[in-house]
Structure 1
Amino acid sequence: MKQVNDCLQYLNQQIQQMNNKIQEMDATIGELKKNSTQPPVIRNEYRFDLLKVEKLEGTLNIGLNPTPNASDSSIEEFSIGQSLNTPKVTEQHNPQMFHGIQEQVQDYLSSGAYSALEAFEHQYEYPLDEPYRKFIVEDVKKQIDQRIRYYLQKHPEPTDNTQESIIEEVKRDIEKTFEAFIRNLPRKGNEK
């Protein structure tokens, strides 16, 4: 009987200790509820250098729209999203020259532009995959007619070498655009 009585006393002590712990925890929880009237702050930090682009849509303006007062054809003077306000008078006055330039520039975009783009990829150590390369070239193709009209407007009285001059200027603009585009792509880590 004494053993049973000792065992019961021990169990009563254990139960009393557990009740005390439960009361302490209830008091702590009550204080926490009272003191925390504001919801907890959750911080989301995004690491954009770790994002992977799986699908790219829309128009990528990569610098073939000159500012209205552009005096030079350098890529630094182009701005994104500005309209040319170039009248089509030059195209209508000399449609053969316009179409000749357009055809040669389109030929360049179908062949030589890819090697120029790959050269800049190599120079800036930023290789692109073939679909992305094609996307860039196709987007530039959509902007070429505006650029040709811009240069035709700069040469209102064409000479014998005007067509070749405009073709070279447009090609140079395309290559400067490719270079600026690749140079400004985000790099892994802190490189730029």
Structure 2
Amino acid sequence: MNYNQSWQMWIQQMMQQMEQQQKMIEQLQKKIDRLQTTEHPPKTVIEKIEYHFDQLKIETLEGTLQIGLTPNGSELSDLGDLYSKQGQQLPQNDDQVLHALQEYMTSDVPSWMNQYVRDHDIQVSDTHKERMIEDVRKQLPHRMEYYRHENPDAPPETLFHQIKSEVQHSMAQYFETFQGDDDR
């Protein structure tokens, strides 16, 4: 084989590789242009997540039972005064209950979820947590109707605490069966 022929073959191979790379660059550039000019970027579709609150079983009930004297010797006329003095305004009607629950979902639930998944070493993406909160938020009016139907004479603050407890309990149960996210 001639020295010139080997150089020619090598140059020819390099030219072929360069042509292939140039074609690939052009294809990638076309894809980039299409993605940039698309008004609606591709979206991930998440199926509906359903929580069946009425099928949950409460195994543990936690809280504080105040019998007789009030804490720190304060003079409160009833238990409602105790809770309102602690900074939380109790709802007086069903509309206020829904509003208070919506605020609870915005202000308290995200930190509760973060603490729960941290304590139980569960991998859940922020997007997944936001979808859960939004899904539960949509169900609040139905849960309100359910509890109001079950106990028409229940005071609004009782409904608020029942639904609040149910939300935490159902989310905890969901996390217990959740296998985890990889897209953290």
TM-score by length of structure 2 reads 0.52
SS of structure 1 residue aligned to 2:51: coil
**Moved runs in structure 1, 4+ residues, more than 4 A?**
none
Question: How does 1:6-45 map onto structure 2 within 5 Å?
Answer: none
Distance 1:185 1:107, change over 3 A: same
Which runs of 5 or more structure 2 residues have no equivalent in the other structure?
A: 1-42, 60-91
- Per the alignment, residue 63 of structure 1 pairs with 52
Quote the Cα distance in structure 2 between the aligned partners of 1:109 and 1:136: 10
- Per the alignment, residue 109 of structure 1 pairs with 105
Asked if the contact 1:74–1:173 (Cα under 8 Å) also holds between the matched residues in 2, the reply is: no
Asked if the contact 1:152–1:166 (Cα under 8 Å) also holds between the matched residues in 2, the reply is: yes
Aligned length: 107
Asked if the contact 1:63–1:75 (Cα under 8 Å) also holds between the matched residues in 2, the reply is: no
Quote the Cα distance in structure 1 between the aligned partners of 2:115 and 2:52: 19
Q: Return the offset for 1:56.
A: 4.8
- Higher gyration radius (CA): 1
Q: Return the offset for 1:187.
A: 5.6
Question: How does 1:25-174 map onto structure 2 within 5 Å?
Answer: 55-64=44-53, 66=54, 74=57, 97-158=93-154, 162-174=155-167
Quote the Cα distance in structure 2 between the aligned partners of 1:146 and 1:98: 12
Which runs of 5 or more structure 1 residues have no equivalent in the other structure?
A: 1-53, 68-72, 77-95
- Whether 2:180 is the aligned partner of 1:180: answer no
SS of structure 2 residue aligned to 1:125: coil
TM-score by length of structure 1 reads 0.50
Quote the Cα distance in structure 1 between the aligned partners of 2:51 and 2:44: 18
Instruction: Write out per-residue CA displacement over residues 150-190 of structure 1, whole angstroms, 9 at most, x where no aligned residue.
Output: 111122224xxx111110110101001110111101269xx
SS of structure 1 residue aligned to 2:47: coil
Distance 1:163 1:139, change over 3 A: same
Instruction: Write out per-residue CA displacement over residues 87-142 of structure 1, whole angstroms, 9 at most, x where no aligned residue.
Output: xxxxxxxxx72211100000000110111111220122113221111011001111
Asked if the contact 1:147–1:170 (Cα under 8 Å) also holds between the matched residues in 2, the reply is: yes
